[in-house]
Amino acid sequence: MRRVVVLGPQRHVITVTEELRLLGLSGRIATITAGWQEREAEDDELSAALGNRAVNLRLHARTDDVFAQDRQLFSAHRRRQDSLRQLQDIYRLRLDHLMASASMLMTRAGPPEIVEPERADTIEQLRALDAHHLRRIRDVHDVFEQQELPGERRALAQHRAEVQGILAECDAVAIAGGHVSTLIGRMRLLDVASGMIDKPILAWSAGAMVLTERLIAFHDRPPEGAGNAEILDVGLGLAPGIVALPHATSRLKLDDNARMALFSRRFAPADCICLDAGSRGRLTGRSWQFTDGTLRIDRDGHTVPASVEAP
């Protein structure tokens, strides 16, 4: 039975130690800190929090080594990145216009029987665009896999085998936060997911995001002005049914009910879970449990305890 734990940021409130204890694991823990990029190896504090049983998979460094050895693969990877970047730009363009009308409709006064069907239809258009974009991203990844056959390339195959070997000797996997695109990219290239499907996983911040079905980037308070949450990539799908929202309190305008209602309805049926410091969610099989204090954004845009079932 799959066991996945998603947590809020660990910098100030460390909960991973207790969750590890609750899982009753005594063996080694494979850690993934690729989201920290060049600082991947600076994991002393993390290792201590995991009882000094951590084995860092060094996915960032391994990927750099693969690309240094296999320039052809590196070039193909860059072409894929270019394609994804262009796709994202076009998606953003379309998204901006749909979001503008949807946002206006969310606050539009009028008889509910007139306005609500229009809102619902606009949200459906948004959902269709998101789904379309996700398909396009998946297509780009598929083309890369089919054309480059990364699993058959010597340097990559060697690193993949080493990673699988380490995973086989570990009792659980811990995935830290960081740069979410870097993290998913390196995990995907080294095919980490296949080696951790049957292991307990503890993940926080960006680590929790990559486990969900869709990577959704969001920030309502960047200096360039509030942006629209956007589909960024395909997730690993190991923590289904939720949208993981690290630092939700500081990154989202949670008190803007209309904005949050649109957010929640756009990504339904997944539950939008606020992963602030101290938040915890545990998936056992197909069932999620959330600790007290962990919040969910309901379909009306209010934050409610995630432990309370949605009506």
User: At 278, is the secondary structure helix, strand, or coil?
Assistant: coil
Stretch that binds other proteins, among 16-24, 120-128, 166-174, 219-227 (CB under 8 A): 219-227
Query: 164 vs 249, which CB is nearer to other proteins?
Result: 249
Whole-angstrom Cα distance, residue 276 to residue 253? 14
Stretch that binds other proteins, among 105-113, 115-123, 220-228, 253-261 (CB under 8 A): 220-228
Distance of closest approach, residue 75 Cβ to other proteins, in angstroms = 12
Contacts of 130-135 spanning 24+ positions with Cβ under 8 A: 130/214, 130/231, 130/266, 130/267, 133/87, 133/91, 133/231, 134/214, 134/231, 134/234
For position 281 contacting other proteins by CB under 8 A, the verdict is: no
Give the contact letters, 136-175, x = binds to other proteins (CB under 8 A), - = no.
----------------------------------------
Where b means 16+ CB within 10 Å and e means fewer, 4-32 reads: bbbbbbbeeebbbeebbeeeebeebbbbb
Whole-angstrom Cα distance, residue 189 to residue 86? 21
- Residues from 4 through 43 that contact other proteins (CB under 8 A): 9, 11, 35, 38
Give the contact letters, 228-257, x = binds to other proteins (CB under 8 A), - = no.
----x-------------xx----------
For position 89 contacting other proteins by CB under 8 A, the verdict is: yes
Q: Cβ distance 231 to 255 under 8 Å?
A: no
CA dihedral sign, ordered 18, 192, 177, 298? negative
List interacting residues with other proteins (CB under 8 A).
9, 11, 35, 38, 64, 67-68, 78, 89, 177-182, 205-206, 209, 217-219, 222-225, 227, 232, 246-247
